[in-house]
Each structure stands twice: as C-alpha cells, then as structure tokens.
Amino acid sequence: MALPRSFKRALWVFHVATGSCNGCDIEIVAALTPRYDVERFGIMLTGTPRHADVLLITGPVTKPMLPRLKRIYEQTPDPKAVIVVGGCGSTSGVFYESYNVVGPIDEVIPVDVYVPGCPSRPEAIIDGVVKAVAKLETLEKSGVGG
C-alpha cells in the first residue's frame, strides 16, 4: 500500500469499546500522550462519531453493544475507515464460547484495518491509523462521500 506523502488534513478518531478488557484502550491513550504523541500529526480523539473520519474499535462485540456499534457506524459520515485494535476485536481472541459475546467486529460492520496484539502496542496502533489514512485518500479520490 502506497503511503501518502503528507496528510491532507487532521484525522479525527472516535473510540468505541464494545466489550474490551481496557488493555488496548489504555494503549490508545498512551499513543495520544507525549511518548508517542500522535496529536503532532493532527490525529485526535473526538467525542462523537458524527465528527469522525476513523472509528477505532476495541473488544469483541457483546450482545448489548451490538445495536450500538451498528448505529455508531451508521452515524459516522463517509468517507470513513474502521480500525480494529487488538486480538479480541479481530478474532474474538480469548473471548469465545460465551453467552454474551457475539463475535469479532467484522461480523457486525466492515473493517478496513486490523491491528494485532493483545494488547496492541502503541506503535502498532499508529501504524494502523497510517494505513487508514491511505484507505481514506483512496476513497476520496474515487469520490465516496464527496
């Protein structure tokens, strides 16, 4: 995948925990704070999916979060990219055979980037966001979401 030479804009990210253990969620915050500091690239968390370019999702989908996740996906304007952070969101990971777990994220909404690790390291999360940038720029070129 060819990386863009520069970011055309600041990326706004909305973070959703659909049943994660908090491990990946804290690593996401670590990526935002000074050691990794993704804000220097204009990547920042936003409080609502309606302002987001990227959905950053952690955790397997629990039954109660299933309709919420779908709704949040629908609320995010096009063009958008979906990143799953962590093993349990990518494959269900350790959370299998439970009465309250529906499964990995991609059984519910389309996913563009999978970030491995349990939990994912902050470096891996940043790498995932960079891949999402490339995807967003392709979408924009093809005119999705105007």
Partner 1 sequence: MNNDSINLKVGQCAATTYSVPVGPVHPALKEPIRFTFNLDGERIVGVDIKPGFAHRGIEYMGMRRNLIQALYLSERICGICSISHPLAFTQAVENAAGIEVPPRAQYIRTIIGELERVHSHLLWAGVGAHELGFDTLLHLTWNVREKSMDLLEELTGNRVDYAIPIFSGVRRDVPAEKAHLAYEALDYYKGLLQQMIDAFLHDKSVEMRTRNVGALSYDLAVDLCAVGPTARASGVKKDVRQDMPYLAYADMEVKAITPEDFGTEPHGDVYDNIIVRLLEVKQSIEIIEFCLENLPSGELMSIPKVPALLATLKKASGEGLGRHEAPRGEVIHYVRLEEGIEEPAVWKVKAPTYSNLMAWVPKFLGDEIADVPIIAASIDPCMCCMDRVHMVDTVGNETTRMKEELVRLSREKTRRICG
Using CB under 8 A as the binding rule, the residues of this chain from 6 to 45 that contact partner 1 are: 15-17, 19-30, 33-35, 45
The option from partner 1, ligand SF4, none interacting with 62 (CB < 5 to 8 A, set by class) reads partner 1
Q: Is 75 in the site for partner 1 (CB under 8 A)?
A: yes
In degrees, rounded to 5, the angle at the alpha carbon of residue 62 between the alpha carbons of residues 61 and 66 is: 70
Q: Is 91 in the site for ligand SF4 (CB under 6 A)?
A: no
Q: Is 86 in the site for ligand SF4 (CB under 6 A)?
A: yes
- Find the shortest distance in angstroms from Cβ 64 to ligand SF4: 17
The sign one gets for the Cα dihedral 58, 18, 132, 116 is positive
DSSP 67-120: HHHHHHHHHSPSS-EEEEESHHHHH-TT--S-TTEEE-GGGTS--SEEE-STTP
Q: Which one, 94 or 144, has the nearer CB to ligand SF4?
A: 94
Among 7, 12, 23, 127, binds ligand SF4 (CB under 6 A): 23
Integer Cα distance of 2 and 45 in angstroms: 25
Return the amino acid letter for 10: A
Residues near partner 1 (CB under 8 A) are 15-17, 19-30, 33-35, 45-50, 59-60, 62, 64-65, 68, 71-72, 75, 88, 93-101, 118-119, 121
